């Protein structure tokens, strides 16, 4: 029982797109061959899970070390916010959602964007067909739970289709939806949607509304650092990006090995997850990192950036957005 995103490629297509020899990439990245690796702390923006498999594999397979970097991957989550770790210097590079990065920059944190890992939005609405919801228009008059931190896309969707929707705050789990308290709920394709499936609700019982099918694609996970870090350590930033992309390619091509590494990280952090859920997350992340036609892995297309910035401005989430070339720097290999 698996729900497939309509834009998902077949396994053969994915491997063909991602199988680039990691050794070749890393050889190019590490030509300088520094005798003493440069230390660098990286903070994923959430707790250890397959969402960050590429970085774990880059560390496990020594891609960072081959690039002349000694990388420590910190455990992220609500107790270690990205903005605090970057300001204090606890982390040199971090991951975060593109929309969240623009909000932090608008609040005064001088972030720059190094690479775009997730190319499509994993956020979606999950609705019960038994409540008469077969399409996005059927959300009119319904009750929908929304995460406060990810309310821009839902509100933009409701405006686009002139929907009168009653929204309630959603917590960290899809409990309101599972208990029948709401008609539709927010979910990440790689996370909460799978939890809902595992609760006993069949895919055939649900209507899925993917934002990227309605002109509201917000590319999500990206790599960031402070502008001062980029100004003083651009070579190290580029090496980190190259090694991380190599890690993602390796993870996509060696998923069982990647899963073993991910599970080791989750067990060390005692996250309480399980192998089946992390396998689902890894597969979905490998779908989401696929670049659009005509773009390279890790690239942020200008139209995608401008779309996110426009929606954030229109909803009052930010006052202004920097020009693309002020925000996105040339860190790709």
Domain 11-120+219-327 identical in fold to domain 123-214: yes
Supply the pLDDT for residue 256: 98
CATH number of 123-214: 3.40.190.10
Supply the pLDDT for residue 241: 98
Residue entry with tokens 């930033």:
237
Q: State how far the Cα of 26 lies from the Cα of 32, in Å rounded to an integer.
A: 11
Q: Are 112 and 230 in contact (CB under 8 A)?
A: yes
Half-sphere exposure of 144 (CA within 13 A, CB side): 28
Per-residue pLDDT of the chain (333 residues; tens, 9 = 90+): 334 454 444 444 444 444 443 444 444 444 444 458 899 999 999 999 999 999 999 999 999 999 999 999 999 999 999 999 999 999 999 999 999 999 999 999 999 999 999 999 999 999 999 999 999 999 999 999 999 999 999 999 999 999 999 999 999 889 999 999 999 999 999 999 999 999 999 999 999 999 999 999 999 999 999 999 999 999 999 999 999 999 999 999 999 999 999 999 999 999 999 999 999 999 999 999 999 888 999 999 999 999 999 999 999 999 999 999 999 999 998
Q: Are 251 and 63 in contact (CB under 8 A)?
A: no
Q: Where are the alpha helices (DSSP H) in the chain?
A: 11-18, 22-29, 53-60, 63-66, 82-88, 98-106, 152-160, 175-178, 192-198, 227-232, 234-253, 255-269, 275-288, 302-314, 324-327
Supply the pLDDT for residue 5: 53
Q: State how far the Cα of 49 lies from the Cα of 195, in Å rounded to an integer.
A: 14
Domain ranges of the chain: 11-120+219-327, 123-214
Q: What residues have CB less than 8 Å from 178, skipping those under 6 apart? A: 196, 199, 201
Q: State how far the Cα of 289 lies from the Cα of 51, in Å rounded to an integer.
A: 10
Supply the pLDDT for residue 32: 45
Q: What residues have CB less than 8 Å from 100, skipping those under 6 apart? A: 45, 82, 149
CATH number of 11-120+219-327: 3.40.190.10
Q: What residues have CB less than 8 Å from 200, skipping those under 6 apart? A: none
What is the number of helices (H) and of strands (E) in the chain?
15, 10
Supply the pLDDT for residue 36: 81
Q: State how far the Cα of 276 lies from the Cα of 262, in Å rounded to an integer.
A: 12
Q: CA torsion, points 99, 286, 291, 187, in degrees to nearest 10? A: -30
Supply the pLDDT for residue 46: 97
């Amino acid at each position: 029982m698996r729900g497939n995103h309509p834009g998902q490629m077949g396994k053969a297509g994915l491997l063909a797109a991602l199988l680039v020899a990691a050794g070749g990439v890393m050889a190019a990245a590490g030509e300088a061959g520094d005798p003493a690796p440069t230390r660098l702390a990286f903070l994923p923006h959430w707790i250890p899970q397959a969402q960050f498999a590429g970085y774990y594999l880059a560390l496990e397979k020594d891609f960072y070390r081959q690039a002349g970097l000694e990388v420590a991957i910190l455990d992220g989550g609500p107790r270690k916010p990205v903005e605090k770790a970057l300001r204090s210097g606890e982390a040199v590079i971090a991951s975060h959602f593109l929309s969240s990065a623009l909000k932090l920059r608008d609040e005064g944190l001088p972030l720059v964007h190094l690479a775009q890992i997730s190319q499509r939005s994993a956020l979606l609405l999950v609705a019960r067909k038994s409540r008469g919801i077969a399409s996005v228009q059927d959300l009119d008059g319904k009750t929908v739970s929304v995460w406060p931190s990810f309310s821009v896309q839902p509100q933009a969707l409701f405006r686009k289709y002139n929907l009168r929707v009653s929204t309630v705050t959603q917590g960290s789990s899809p409990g309101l939806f599972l208990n029948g308290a709401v008609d539709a709920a927010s979910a990440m394709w790689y996370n909460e949607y799978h939890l809902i499936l595992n609760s006993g609700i069949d895919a055939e019982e649900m209507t899925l509304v993917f934002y990227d099918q309605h002109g509201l694609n917000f590319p999500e996970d990206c790599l960031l650092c402070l502008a001062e870090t980029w100004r003083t350590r651009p070579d190290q930033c580029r090496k980190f990006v190259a090694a991380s992309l190599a890690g993602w390619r390796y993870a996509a091509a060696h998923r069982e090995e990647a899963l073993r590494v991910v599970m080791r990280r989750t067990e060390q952090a005692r996250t309480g997850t399980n192998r089946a859920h992390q396998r689902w997350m890894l597969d979905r992340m490998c779908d989401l990192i696929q670049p659009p036609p005509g773009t390279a892995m890790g690239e942020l297309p200008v139209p995608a950036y401008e779309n996110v910035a426009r929606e954030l401005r229109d909803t009052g989430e930010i006052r202004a957005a920097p020009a693309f070339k002020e925000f996105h720097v040339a860190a790709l290999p």
